Structure 1
Amino acid sequence: MTTAYRFPDYQVSGSGDTTVFLLHGAYGSKDYFRHEIATLVRAGLRVVAWDAPGYGLSPLPEDGLSIERLGETAACLIDRCGTGTNIVLGHSMGGITAPAVYAARPDKVHGLVISATVGSFSQKSEEDRKTFLAERVEPLRAGNSFRDTAGAVIDSMFAPGSKGPMVDLVREVALSTNADTFCAAITAITLYDGEPNLKNVKVPALLLAGEHDKVGRPEGMKSVQTQLMPHAEYACIPDAGHYAFAEQHDVFNDHLLRFIRERVMALR
């Protein structure tokens, strides 16, 4: 029997006419944005954070995942919950998805923030692609548990010395990811060429990299700016790895909130 489609779960926090949509990565769910949501709401913003299909309590579609479909589904979330000004902040896989959301609803997305990703897997070298898959998927296909497989990989994604309750939260939420969903997400990421969508972004954009990130490497994100999105701002956050919003929370949000005020809200 075919299961009826159910829209992914999401959380709405705060109020106002400027909404930030948070898209999490392939590890985790909206729950690791708990502190980020609180900071944005305290800054006077409205926040919508989803559990992408297959994450949290959201069911995994029977035919798997694709970045294009994630983009369209997130665009439908903007149709449901959007306000006068909508900003999409995508982290990691969410950062790959964010330009696809804009491509689906260019009239409803007024700013993009791309965190800790190259934006398109086609930007990665062949060696990086093989390492990416070998570290993440091959042990699961060999029958190892997700927590045993993912723990060392997740730890390696933080900068040396990163610690504290925000880091602990990210790690625990990331380790709770469903293995089938994770494999579907990694496959979707490696099959997606996001360069056309990146080139077509016409709204203000901010690229945020962590100094020690081995996934969304700073040099890779900088190349997205120089080669694909010359109008975008770029910032590298010192002493941060893949999860700068948790590792260097204040610095991350100094960049983010200034961008929202000066590059998005000031133009509305």
Structure 2
Amino acid sequence: MITPNWIESGEGARGLVFLHGVSGGAAGALELLPRLAAPGWRTLAWDMPGYGASEPFEPDTPEGMGAYADALAELLDAAGLERAVLVGHSMGGMVALQTAAAHPERVAGLVLACCTPAFGASAGAMQQAFLDKRLGPLDEGASMRELAIDLIPGMVGPGGEAELVHDAVNLMEQIPPDSYRRALRAVVGFDQRSALARIAVPALVIAGTHDKVSTPLVVRRMAERLPAGVYREIDAGHLAPFEEPAIFTALVREFLDGLDHIPVI
């Protein structure tokens, strides 16, 4: 098993790991990490396997979200973190849920932003349409940049800034197509709905009001099924943590403050 690359900010005995989405990378969290680094907390952001400076999975590694959760456990080992609060955006939230289900002893809390506990019915029409829109252009010879230019603008809310879109396009452009394809296959096969009731750690669940990918209704329902879930909504789109970083980090810092009485080491 490979050990993914990570960047970090802050110092302390407690650990927080930011998990990016399928179109992101650790570099996208460079400005977010110092904001999230509450006193006493080491704040990390990973590159998923095959993204950024992280090596891709070995050829014989099984497909699916479980491989990403196992890789995250390897990262925690390498970083010397017995447990951590996982802050997952989009696919990163799915990785966080998978990790909480498969490695519950490693998870001290969850922040799930703009994500859902399942993609949809297995091999359903929604899955196929999703893959057609995202992989079809690559199959026809489009570059990752061309795909990003087509997809990213639709992920931000009405107040999304042009600079944010520009930066997100540049970040997505750097993803190797094979790594992107594998991540998408993991997303469409993901389903942890049955595990929600067993995930008892404190959980902050955040939706973007204008998110068309992970709609507020679905995100709220996920929060309601988590025993210690709390729902919040930001006036933004699917890239809410980056569209409204001050509001997002304030919500996360407030959540971390509430963990003061809970051992997270």
TM-score normalised by L of structure 1: 0.89
1:135 alignment partner in structure 2: 133
Q: Secondary structure at the match of 1:90?
A: strand
Counterpart Cα distance in 1 of 2:232 and 2:144 = 33
Asked whether the equivalents of residues 93 and 113 of structure 2 are also in contact (C-alpha less than 8 Å), the reply is yes
Opposite residue 228 of structure 2, the aligned amino acid is H
Asked whether the equivalents of residues 26 and 182 of structure 1 are also in contact (C-alpha less than 8 Å), the reply is yes
Opposite residue 40 of structure 1, the aligned amino acid is L
1:237 alignment partner in structure 2: 234
1:70 alignment partner in structure 2: 68
Q: Does residue 97 of the first structure (1) align with residue 95 of the second (2)?
A: yes
2:20 alignment partner in structure 1: 24
| CA positional deviation for 1:142 | 1.8
Q: Which runs of 5+ in 2 are unaligned?
A: none
Q: Deviations over 1:5-53 (max 9, x none)?
A: 6422112322102211111111121100111111123655211211111
Q: Deviations over 1:42-95 (max 9, x none)?
A: 655211211111101222222464201111110222223244762011111110
- The range that moved more, 86-95 or 126-135, is 126-135
Q: Which runs of 5+ in 1 are unaligned?
A: none
Q: Does residue 14 of the first structure (1) align with residue 10 of the second (2)?
A: yes
Residues 100-249 of structure 1 aligned to structure 2 (within 5 Å): 100-122=98-120, 126=124, 128-163=126-161, 165=163, 168-226=166-224, 228-238=225-235, 240-249=236-245
Opposite residue 41 of structure 1, the aligned amino acid is A
Identity %: 30
Counterpart Cα distance in 1 of 2:165 and 2:13 = 31
Q: Deviations over 1:148-173 (max 9, x none)?
A: 12212111101123116555433321
2:262 alignment partner in structure 1: 267
1:54 alignment partner in structure 2: 50
Q: Does residue 251 of the first structure (1) align with residue 254 of the second (2)?
A: no
Asked whether the equivalents of residues 167 and 246 of structure 1 are also in contact (C-alpha less than 8 Å), the reply is no
Opposite residue 186 of structure 2, the aligned amino acid is A
Asked whether the equivalents of residues 120 and 193 of structure 1 are also in contact (C-alpha less than 8 Å), the reply is yes
Opposite residue 55 of structure 1, the aligned amino acid is Y
TM-score normalised by L of structure 2: 0.89
Counterpart Cα distance in 1 of 2:140 and 2:251 = 42
Going from structure 1 to structure 2, the CA distance change for 1:196 and 1:135 (only over 3 Å counts) comes to: same
| CA positional deviation for 1:129 | 2.7
Q: Secondary structure at the match of 1:265?
A: coil
- Give the ranges of 4+ consecutive aligned residues of structure 1 lying more than 6 Å apart after TM superposition: none
- The range that moved more, 119-128 or 21-30, is 119-128
Q: Secondary structure at the match of 1:122?
A: coil
Counterpart Cα distance in 2 of 1:9 and 1:216 = 27
Going from structure 1 to structure 2, the CA distance change for 1:128 and 1:214 (only over 3 Å counts) comes to: farther
Counterpart Cα distance in 2 of 1:267 and 1:8 = 28
Asked whether the equivalents of residues 38 and 253 of structure 2 are also in contact (C-alpha less than 8 Å), the reply is no
Counterpart Cα distance in 1 of 2:147 and 2:222 = 30
Opposite residue 8 of structure 2, the aligned amino acid is V
Q: Secondary structure at the match of 1:70?
A: helix
Opposite residue 192 of structure 1, the aligned amino acid is F
Counterpart Cα distance in 2 of 1:222 and 1:112 = 15
Going from structure 1 to structure 2, the CA distance change for 1:169 and 1:7 (only over 3 Å counts) comes to: same
| CA positional deviation for 1:143 | 1.8
